A and B are shown apart, each in its own frame.
Chain A
Amino acid sequence: MQRRAWVGTVLAAVLVAGAAAAAASVVAQQITVTMREFSYTPDRIIVPVGKPVAITLINKGKLPHEFMIYNRPKSMDAMMGHAWVEQTNYFHGVPAAVVGGKVRRQKGDFLELKVPAGTSATITFTPVKKGTFEYACMIEDHYEAGQMGVLVVR
């Protein structure tokens, strides 16, 4: 009887470990993006819809840089202020887990991540909306200087 309980515990442990391993392999898509004045490398990311993605942002510049994802604007004028980003925030209703950096949220949704110079941060989320989006830094003059990239979810 005691022996059977022990076997049961081992079986349960193996099952839990197996489930964890399966979950870990699902989380696998890792993307590294380097931030500088004033760019992202790469400036184009393609990810499949419905599969978790972890984007690690490494700031190799001397200034802080941000990361946010939103609908591509028709022109740069539409970016005046933060309204466009807030209105079309990709993370509206999409949970995101962030390690490192400084996160700003909007009504509970992830809105933007600021990565201080010389540090890195990772954002993990599951893209649920297909399409072509933009990621950028909205610190004054950074976007204007070309700090933006394209995220394709398909």
Chain B
Amino acid sequence: MSRLAVVLAFVLVSATMVTAAGDLSRQAPVELRVILGAKDAEYALSPKTWNLQTGKLYKVTFVNQGKMKHEWVAAEFSLTVWTRKVQVGGVEVKGVISEIEVGPGAQAEWYFVPIRTGTFEMACELEGHRENGMFGKIVVK
């Protein structure tokens, strides 16, 4: 009889743990401003390392202050996040995002929740841009 009580208590505790996180898409976002091309450094990708945590909602604002178009590509990372939306001007785009291109003077906001841990590469894949230093890594813990 007492053994049954212990088992029951364990089941109740487990159930509470599973439902604890709630709706991960509705939390206040952690903001991160990312420079993709700067006035004095056309091939800037800054910060070069992003330290993120699973389960948190992030709002990454890509800003291009350079003279050229730049892109942000992180193919593997993109498969390990849930995207709430991408916002550009008055437009919201929803769905899976694998690449974001930002023209000179433009900016875009990407809201997402990392799901898996790991270290991922990111870069501007336009020809020659990576060679000029436009790359970095994303560490998700």
Of the candidate stretches B6-14, B81-89, B92-100, B122-130, the one touching chain A is B122-130
Q: Tell me the complex Cα distance, A141–B131, Å.
A: 17
A contact residues around B69 at 8 Å (CB): 141
Contact with B along A126-154 (1 / 0, CB 8 A): 00000000000001110001000000000
Contact A117 B128 (CB under 8 A): yes
A contact residues around B35 at 8 Å (CB): none
A144: nearest residue on chain B (CB-CB)? B69
Interface size bracket, A side = under 10
B71: nearest residue on chain A (CB-CB)? A140
A-B contact count (CB 8 A): 22
Interface residues of A in 4-50 (CB under 8 A from B): 37
Q: How near does chain B come to A34, taking the closest CB pair, in angstroms?
A: 17
Interface residues of B in 111-127 (CB under 8 A from A): 126-127
A100 at the interface (CB under 8 A from B): no
Contact A64 B126 (CB under 8 A): no
Q: How near does chain B come to A103, taking the closest CB pair, in angstroms?
A: 17
B27 at the interface (CB under 8 A from A): no
Contact with B along A57-75 (1 / 0, CB 8 A): 0000011100000000000
B68, B128, B129 — most chain A CB neighbours (10 Å): B128
Q: How near does chain A come to B51, taking the closest CB pair, in angstroms?
A: 29
Q: How near does chain A come to B82, taking the closest CB pair, in angstroms?
A: 29
B103: nearest residue on chain A (CB-CB)? A141
Contact A140 B128 (CB under 8 A): no
B contact residues around A63 at 8 Å (CB): 127-129, 132
Q: Tell me the complex Cα distance, A37–B131, Å.
A: 15
B contact residues around A141 at 8 Å (CB): 68-69, 126
A contact residues around B126 at 8 Å (CB): 139-141
B126, B127, B132 — most chain A CB neighbours (10 Å): B127
Contact A62 B43 (CB under 8 A): yes
B70: nearest residue on chain A (CB-CB)? A141
Q: Tell me the complex Cα distance, A64–B132, Å.
A: 11
Contact B43 A140 (CB under 8 A): no
A contact residues around B132 at 8 Å (CB): 62-63
Contact B68 A62 (CB under 8 A): no
Q: Tell me the complex Cα distance, A126–B132, Å.
A: 36
Q: Tell me the complex Cα distance, A120–B82, Å.
A: 46
Supply 16 A–B pairs (Cβ within 8 Å), ascending by A: A62-B42, A62-B43, A62-B132, A63-B127, A63-B128, A64-B127, A64-B128, A117-B128, A139-B126, A139-B127, A140-B126, A140-B127, A141-B68, A141-B69, A141-B126, A145-B68
> Can you name 8 extra interface pairs (CB under 8 A) apart from A139-B128, A140-B126, A141-B69?
A37-B68, A62-B43, A62-B128, A117-B128, A117-B131, A139-B126, A140-B127, A141-B68
